[in-house]
Structure 1
């Protein structure tokens, strides 16, 4: 039995308490990063740097956490969602408070972009993992509710940060929202684990092994398995935990030449296990649907994230500053993203809807809206396009759902980490590229044409790779020994 064997997903009960805690965790962690477009003009005015350099702050805070997703997922696997969320609360709050004392953009890139970004990445991995553990039949709805926390946070924080800057200045604003982020530790208390984390299993196995030593000496080949049993039943990540738990040297093996042999044996087994783990991770990239999803998320992140950061600056560059209402464009993007996450999450639970095609459709809609932004010359037009981009950007609630469908729940953390790496890389590159386009042309037109084209390319790529005709061709190639003369012969042979 796998060390990670746990209770069946509850689809309710305490799971709803976990949903509320995860929602609040994403709300507190992502509130400021999702509304960083409000802080961006303030940083431009304070530090007098170029738009491309200053944009690195907003891109890193969203991109670093996703790029580090493989590491964040490994932390959740080993330590559990609760300790990871507590630690992330310290990182997010500390990074925000440290940013209040930033003397230049370079320091801000570290404190706000990297420290806060890594903290957000840990929160994201922890909340999505424990949500998928608690829900099965209603997983799409559950993920939609949880990920809506980032959108609601972005909507409320955008308005709140505007008011806090007026009342207390930029430094006071960052200190206050940093203090609010400390409540992440309280959210972690409700994340009761269904699966025992790997670190706990290793410590428990080590303790039991130590207690048994005075009475029973384990066989020398404790880790050897017979064909069809043991290692083949264990997932690769669980096999790593088993090796760590069993390969603790006994008191008798700590002396002399035998101790050296025992250490060499442990090193070889660990190397083999980690090699299998890396190969299993690389196998995901051989899956056509998964690889197409990685490319689509990269192109989507490259093109769709810059509007969140630059939308307010676009309105100001077009001379529409006098028309700006109490609710910023960033808030419109945030609230419509929340609506999109809930709506798309519920649509994914409908059996006859293909979630991959649904995701591809959201990319096509986002790309079209981005191409229309340079054409719009009114604030109302920017509001409408911001709402469209925000709604389709709610497809982030579909990523974990689609990943589970492609690779299964057991491999979700590994595959999701790879997927988020591609997304984070796109988010990290997008805003600086758009900023450089503006510095070069003194206009956002070419930048948004580039963004819209990238997102459209990602949607078309995913749609074409997900067509069922590829699977039919593969099935025909797998049986070259059978020659079909008519469709009737093919149907008869299959029957």
Structure 2
């Protein structure tokens, strides 16, 4: 019996997400190289300004998630990913012609940042819709390997290109490559093709006939009206009112605000290696040429971290959330370690630790959202996650650059960064305790086995009710059962609970399982 891959199109979407994320985030992670080149061409450009250009692009990449989420829910994933690809390409091309570095706030920070968000947020949500439960960690971790591969390949690549054709020429090459690769990848970005529905057709005429039948025939008739069908997955056209309603519901989920602030604290320091690290190394006597190799170590370690998450993320012996206090505590120690680093060997040690755990926390972020808040509010919870990350990323490099401009040292930035990692560890550690106290069970999609069990249970209850009575208690019992399903954490989208208003052939209840 040969090996067969299930959900083939889902894995194709995952692979193409990896391909398109690779140049997008790879370009953003090379800002440390561009940072130094910019200050050579524009000597009056301060560390605060130069760091803010790159940091703001990173921040907008995450913070624009409420916009991109609303757009892909309304217009579909493919269109928004294509728009993102165009924005990134135009942003890089326009940046290569700016006469003043301050125009980079428009061409690079805003255009590149928004375009990157339209790609990253949209594609990862699409991957999550193909793998809402099984292989959720493997698929999202593999997709986000594009971060690591992009950083690993483009940091030395951009440094080499900048030496040969200048940073402007490097941006032009990257613009063309990103556009070509992105357009090819976007052709596969369509929603999951099918969903499976448990449909109960409720026709009053049929119910009247059932009352005249013997008990065994009534049970068979009821069962025949309840069937499983596969039909095309049609994307709902969400209105602004629907969108706001879902966000209000998401904010009420226990632990979501702790998760939001934990991501802010964590990302205040997480971006330092990609923006300020080469500048820091020049202050302790390490030449710029060696700085690019140190960033390569960050990329290799990041790759190993994401690979570990892909291999073991779906089979952890504990809840995914506990990954975050562990990793944040280690990253806090690594950041404090920079206070005593004085040579290249110390930088390699720091890069190996920080790179590995950056890879772990970033690749497991989507999986943690699924486990903490469930599939029903996943898009909104993920949007709030990226919003927190975006704020932290936008502010972090600014703090580091301002600290150096005013004191001539990065020490204050390291104290603040280590403290923020420690605070993030505390906040993430509190989340499972809060959810346990509130008895929170995240709503989720049902597996095929679970859905079949629910169908059998409902048929059994229907038989018992028919044998006991022919009154309207059947409707009441069915409603009670639906409420029990919702309380147990199973995501059931009930279109109409009040059967008094149900018309013939209406769908009374439905749920989606993984096909």
TM-score > 0.5, shorter chain as reference: yes
Q: Is 1:164 aligned to residue 164 of structure 2?
A: no
CA contact (8 A) 1:311 1:329 kept: no
Q: Is 1:465 aligned to residue 462 of structure 2?
A: no
In structure 1, the residue matched to 2:14 is: 19
Other structure's SS at 1:103 match: coil
In structure 1, the residue matched to 2:173 is: 176
> Please, which of 251, 256, 261 is the counterpart of residue 295 of structure 1?
261
Alpha-carbon distance between aligned partners in 2 of 1:175 and 1:101, rounded to the nearest angstrom:
9
Shift of 1:26: 0.1
Q: Deviations over 1:381-404 (max 9, x none)?
A: 111111111111111111211111
CA contact (8 A) 2:246 2:377 kept: no
Shift of 1:159: 0.7
Q: Is 1:367 aligned to residue 325 of structure 2?
A: no
Shift of 1:298: 0.5
Other structure's SS at 2:412 match: helix
Alpha-carbon distance between aligned partners in 2 of 1:325 and 1:379, rounded to the nearest angstrom:
8
Give the alignment of 1:64-463 within 5 angstroms: 64-135=60-131, 136-183=133-180, 184-194=182-192, 241=237, 274-275=240-241, 277-321=243-287, 324-325=289-290, 328-394=293-359, 395-463=361-429
CA contact (8 A) 1:11 1:138 kept: no
Shift of 1:407: 2.4
In structure 2, the residue matched to 1:46 is: 41
- Residue range with higher mean Cα deviation, 82-91 or 294-303: 82-91
Shift of 1:466: 2.4
CA contact (8 A) 2:265 2:421 kept: yes
In structure 2, list runs of 5 or more residues that go unmatched: 195-233, 440-515
Alpha-carbon distance between aligned partners in 1 of 2:436 and 2:166, rounded to the nearest angstrom:
62
When residues 449 and 132 of structure 1 are mapped into structure 2, their CA distance, relative to the original with a 3 A threshold, is same
When residues 171 and 405 of structure 1 are mapped into structure 2, their CA distance, relative to the original with a 3 A threshold, is same
Alpha-carbon distance between aligned partners in 2 of 1:351 and 1:343, rounded to the nearest angstrom:
11
Q: Deviations over 1:228-250 (max 9, x none)?
A: xxxxxxxxxx99838xxxxxxxx
In structure 1, the residue matched to 2:57 is: 61
Alpha-carbon distance between aligned partners in 2 of 1:472 and 1:277, rounded to the nearest angstrom:
28
In structure 2, the residue matched to 1:264 is: none
Shift of 1:301: 0.6
Q: Deviations over 1:438-494 (max 9, x none)?
A: 011101111111111111111112113323xx456556xxxxxxxxxxxxxxxxxxx
Q: Deviations over 1:127-148 (max 9, x none)?
A: 1011112223111011111001
CA contact (8 A) 1:347 1:353 kept: no
CA contact (8 A) 1:148 1:339 kept: no
Q: Deviations over 1:352-386 (max 9, x none)?
A: 22100112211111111111112111101111111
Alpha-carbon distance between aligned partners in 1 of 2:60 and 2:407, rounded to the nearest angstrom:
28
CA contact (8 A) 1:240 1:274 kept: no
Alpha-carbon distance between aligned partners in 1 of 2:242 and 2:15, rounded to the nearest angstrom:
37
Aligned length, in residue pairs: 393
Other structure's SS at 2:364 match: helix
Alpha-carbon distance between aligned partners in 1 of 2:193 and 2:331, rounded to the nearest angstrom:
37
Alpha-carbon distance between aligned partners in 2 of 1:11 and 1:454, rounded to the nearest angstrom:
42
When residues 172 and 69 of structure 1 are mapped into structure 2, their CA distance, relative to the original with a 3 A threshold, is same
CA contact (8 A) 1:404 1:412 kept: yes
Q: Deviations over 1:208-245 (max 9, x none)?
A: xxxxxxxxxxxxxxxxxxxxxxxxxxxxxx99838xxx
Alpha-carbon distance between aligned partners in 2 of 1:287 and 1:193, rounded to the nearest angstrom:
26
TM-score w.r.t. length of structure 2: 0.72
Alpha-carbon distance between aligned partners in 2 of 1:240 and 1:16, rounded to the nearest angstrom:
24
Alpha-carbon distance between aligned partners in 2 of 1:195 and 1:112, rounded to the nearest angstrom:
36
In structure 2, the residue matched to 1:6 is: none
